[in-house]
Structure 1
């Protein structure tokens, strides 16, 4: 530290304020776990805790490869695929541009957190907001990583993959067209409409590493949270409760939709959490998979911070309703009814 003199002539000390980082917390927890391993071993002798630990580890182990692959692709897109590349292939007609932007989510993989700044950059480069918002909803929901992880999580149920793809894509397109019809630019914060500086001068591999690392840290935390909640549900909540919830299909759909918003899972890993709730029918679990990537608690916060609160308060509730409707419609079409 060095001594400085403030505006009143009094001397003081300047220096950075010490803060506790997540890495320090992790190291402290690891040390505590090592010191208390005997106590932990005795605690986990209980059959209920062993079952919960098995479910938790199984979900994490199954989902982690897809999560890592997803964030690597997200980092590669951020570093090597400039946002203006999508603008070049979009039709001039806004309604057609919404459709192309939605379908581009099939090849441009990215998690929910990454899609918000990408949509912001598209708007800053002159893309119609309706098309940018369609891409925002489609990219984390219909990309190959999400579809493959869904197929792995639901073996023997290929209809779940088709239903998730159709429900999520329909949500993105409908929200884009709704914005095109009723959306207003004044709802979007002025800062989101400004042109962004070009980042081509930056080292691309550094951008790749920073983006992938940031996405992995954010998404892994939500994966662990989701796996923990699923494990708790599996051992604390009686199976009869899920069975009765499955019999009341409308209530089951609403509960799973709200759960998707609250859990805020990464789209590359949410299928494994949904698959673990096997006492529920497929339709409520499909709604969970369609709603989660479209709108959840973290996405609402990101949208409010990026596009402004006036935008988020209008866009999020409508997205929630549209996603539920599209999820139910896709389930009835591809799953052969309520099951």
Structure 2
């Protein structure tokens, strides 16, 4: 190690940060706007019921909801809890970090001399997310794969919807003389017990004193709000004044930028260190093999866990030494599955479901990018 190496590493580190920070800030802003100003429940009614079409549409929703892999998990959880079909939610979960205009712009900025990487990244991400969403549609009831809190929320919503339909039917029958008011009142009580909470004048019915209440037949359960606050916040502030929402947006932007900025600094430092201090012959030997280059970059993407709005600048540092397929593997697999994302996914899915998502995404990414290395170049 000498002064020239340190200077080169620091220069590369700063150049990566300068290019990436504006895109990270833009991504955080859009994520906050989605959380506080957009009610995605209005879109649920438009979602297709066909599994394959639903997975494809869900994978494309990222163009409407431009969030990175830090924001897609709370949104996907909200979609599931609000009754959206599972292929739509899973397609969105896997594709949204890549299939959105901010990431497309950032990737184009980094790889403007290699536009094929930009379009193959979008195409491969869309194909993989759609296929996995379609595969999960085989499981008609996804609740056995979900965390208990999310599964109970889905059950409560289904009971509420069923109660409303039955109440409407009984109301019409009552008006025609075929039913009485007693059945209607009974159904109202059932609906209220299935999805209601004790309320106080100063608290929201969903978030009370550190407690998220979701009960069945009057039974309430205490759950840490930190786990579910992000997923329910949009409903909490839906009817708040604009000044209140703007204040929350500013606070959320500062917090997320601080947290994700730390990850960006760490990722940029790793890229600079690898480029400067790892022997060139080792990098060339690993990076030029059509198979090992893909495996190495997938492993790196999993460990580094860098945000999808800036990962293209990280990958750009390896463009001269690694194969095109391996760069695509990093850009496609990382936003879907990384250590940070796995931790977030465990707030929705049980471990075995996360393992299935990981295995399917890894296999499909490897096959597609190996084809690029062998036949595209």
TM-score when normalising by structure 1: 0.80
Deviation of 1:100 (Å): 1.1
**Alignment match, 1:58:** 15
Q: Residue in 2 aligned with 1:263?
A: 304
Structure 1 residue aligned with 2:164:
none
Structure 1 residue runs of 5 or longer lacking an equivalent are: 1-42
Q: What is the aligned-residue RMSD (CA, Å)?
A: 2.1
Determine the C-alpha separation between the residues in 2 that align with 1:167 and 1:279.
22
- State how far apart, in whole Å, the 1-side matches of 2:356 and 2:113 are: 39
1:81 counterpart = 2:120? no
Are residues 90 and 211 of structure 1, via their aligned partners in 2, closer, same or farther at CA, if it must alter by over 3 Å? farther
Q: 1:235 aligns with which of 276, 287, 290?
A: 276
**Contact 1:146/1:268 (8 A) holds in 2:** yes
Aligned with residue 327 of structure 2, among 285, 306, 310: 285
Distance 1:310 1:281, change over 3 A: closer
Contact 1:114 1:215 in 2 (8 A): no
User: More deviation in 197-206 or 289-298?
Assistant: 197-206
Return the alpha-carbon distance in structure 2 between the equivalents of residues 90 and 121 of structure 1: 15
Alignment-derived partner of residue 144 in structure 2: 186
1:308 and 1:302 map into 2 onto residues whose CA distance is 11
Q: Give the structure with higher Rg (CA).
A: 2
Distance 1:46 1:77 in 2: 46
Q: Is the CA contact 1:99–1:173 (under 8 Å) kept in the aligned structure 2?
A: yes
Unaligned runs of 5+ in 2: 158-205, 207-231
The alignment's TM-score, normalised by the length of structure 2, stands at 0.73
Task: Give a deviation string over 1:160-216, Cα, whole Å, max 9, x none.
Answer: 110110011111111100111247430111211315763213442234234323332
1:222-256 CA deviation, whole Å, 9 max, x = no partner? 11111000010111112222221233210111111
Is 2:246 aligned against 1:205?
Answer: yes
CA gap of 1:72–1:328, structure 2 versus 1, over 3 A, is farther
Work out whether residues 171 and 322 of structure 1, in 8 Å CA contact, stay in contact via their aligned partners in 2: yes
The CA deviation string for residues 267-316 of structure 1, in whole angstroms up to 9 with x for no partner, is 01100110001211222111110000010001111111333334323322
1:179–1:211 Cα change, 3 Å? farther
How far 1:261 sits from its partner (Å)? 0.4
Give a deviation string over 1:125-182, Cα, whole Å, max 9, x none: 1101221111111111111111111111113111111011001111111110011124
- Alpha-carbon distance in structure 2 between the residues aligned to 1:118 and 1:282: 32
d(CA) in 2 for partners of 1:311 and 1:211?
30
Count how many residue pairs are aligned between Structure 1 and Structure 2: 292
Q: Give yes or no for contact 1:78–1:207 (8 Å, CA) kept in 2.
A: no
Indicate the residue corresponding to 2:376 in structure 1.
337
8 Å Cα contact 1:175/1:322 also seen in 2? no
2:357 maps to 315
